[in-house]
Amino acid sequence: MAKLSFFLILISIPLITGCRKQPAAALFIFGDSLFDAGNNNYINTTTLDQANFWPYGVSYFHHPTGRFSDGRLISDFIAEHAKLPLIPPYLQPRNYRDLQNYHGVNFASAGAGALSQTFQGLVIDLKTQLKYYKREVAELRHNIGGGARISSTAIYLFSIGSNDYMSPFLLNSTLLSSYPHSKYVDMVLGNLSTVVKAIHKKGGRKFVFLNLGELGCFPGLRILKPETDGGCLEEVSELSELHNKKLKDLLVKLDQQLQGFKYFLYDFKSSLAQKTTRPLKYGFEEGKMACCGTGRFNGVFSCGGKRPVKEFQVCENPSKYVFWDSYHLTERVYKQMADEMWYASTERDNSLKKLFLCI
């Protein structure tokens, strides 16, 4: 088994030779709580979709920022690798200055899905994130010029889909039962495809995607199984597996359809599975139980005591845990994943680093 390529799926990127010394001009980030750097701090929602309270942020920022972790996220570490500052949330007040100091913006919203029905009215769904992106490009053009150049050289980072598959089980929604699983996944990916095509039409060419972890094995889903079982919620995991297969096929199709389209697909599922099943190998002591929460596996989503369930406990050292809370990972895991994305290469000698640096 290859040591590095195990963590990486990278398909249909031609060998690129025209490379710069400096990274891409900007990073545009779309998605859910895996990437939300604080957008949900600024919307009218519930604490279930916010992380602007202790102990979130305790390990790095030493105060809550709205990130669903004890510290930084994958997107933060990718920005660091690319020698970019932390990318600000779109809804955070900002001043447009000049092209040289513009590094992108983060549209991600915790709880968001590709489907507008997912936690509808409480989050910024993917379609709305696209609307914000179009508005951002227009603002760039109006305020500092160069919007087209920024769009064409930027990297577009996506994490989306988890909430579309988890929410029906968490809310006892009938949406999923209204469709065959294959059709439901097609709806999710159809919306993602529409957004990617719209960005491509605006000049976007370089895209980064994460597939989905085995969702049924997250602490918050494990506790939906009988207490005597302790296993994963298979139906959710089957949905995420079907999503991953169809996502891979979709990207091959988009590569054939869209001129200049380059993409990088990270095998988030395999990387997380390795860390949860063999935590000691990666420097962790606990791969299944969350650091912060209550109940079995600390899977009750109560971290911080600001949600409907107030009781919670938090571990002494989050860096020893894979899971931070019921559905999210610790900063240490996110750093390892970002490092894998940046440096790992396939037999075609491509990496996320090259996607940033090469034209």
CB 192 within 8 A of CB 160: yes
Structure tokens at 134: 């179009």
pLDDT in tens, 323-334: 999 999 999 999
Residue 213 resides in a domain: yes
Note the pLDDT of residue 18: 59
Tokens of 21: 């010394």
> Is 350 contained in some domain?
yes
Q: What is the pLDDT of residues 118-145, one digit of tens each?
A: 999 999 999 999 999 999 999 888 877 7
Tell me if 115 is assigned to some domain: yes
Q: Is residue 40 part of a domain?
A: yes
Residue 347 confidence class, pLDDT cut points 50, 70, 90: very low
In a domain, 118, yes or no: yes
The pLDDT of residue 20: 66
Q: CA of 82: how far to CAs of 208, 210, 292, 309, in Å? A: 14, 18, 31, 40
The reply to whether 299 falls in a domain is no
- pLDDT at residue 248 tops 80: yes
For residue range 293-313, list pLDDT tens digits in order: 999 999 999 999 999 999 999
Residue 91 counted as domain residue: yes
Check residues 94 and 73 and name the one with the higher pLDDT.
Answer: 73
Domain count, the chain: 1
Handedness of CA 188, 191, 197, 198 (dihedral sign): negative
Residue 219 has pLDDT above 90, yes or no: yes
- pLDDT, residue 241, reads 98
For 17-66, the pLDDT digits (tens) are: 456 666 667 999 999 999 999 999 999 999 999 999 999 999 999 999 99
Residue 98 exposed, middle or buried by CB count within 10 Å (0-12, 13-18, 19+)? exposed
What's the pLDDT score for residue 22?
A: 61
Sequence length of the chain is: 359
The CATH number given to whatever domain includes residue 68 is: 3.40.50.1110
Q: 143-179, pLDDT tens digit by residue?
A: 777 677 888 899 999 999 999 999 999 998 888 889 9
Asked if residue 325 is part of any domain, the answer here is no
Residues taking part in catalysis: 33, 325, 328
195-205 pLDDT, tens digit per residue, is 999 999 999 99
pLDDT value of position 17: 46
Both tokens assigned to 323: 């899971």
Tell me which residue range forms the domain holding 65: 5-278+330-357
- Residues 77-110 pLDDT 10s: 999 999 999 999 999 988 766 667 889 999 999 9
Which residue has 């949905």 as its token pair?
239
pLDDT of 1: 39
Number of H helices, E strands in the chain: 10, 10
Residue 228 has pLDDT above 80, yes or no: no
Which of 116, 115, 110 is CA-nearest to residue 34? 110
pLDDT score of 13 more than 50: no
Q: How confident is the model at residue 252 (pLDDT cuts 50, 70, 90)?
A: very high
Give the residue among 208, 211, 271, 195 at the shortest CA–CA distance from 247.
211
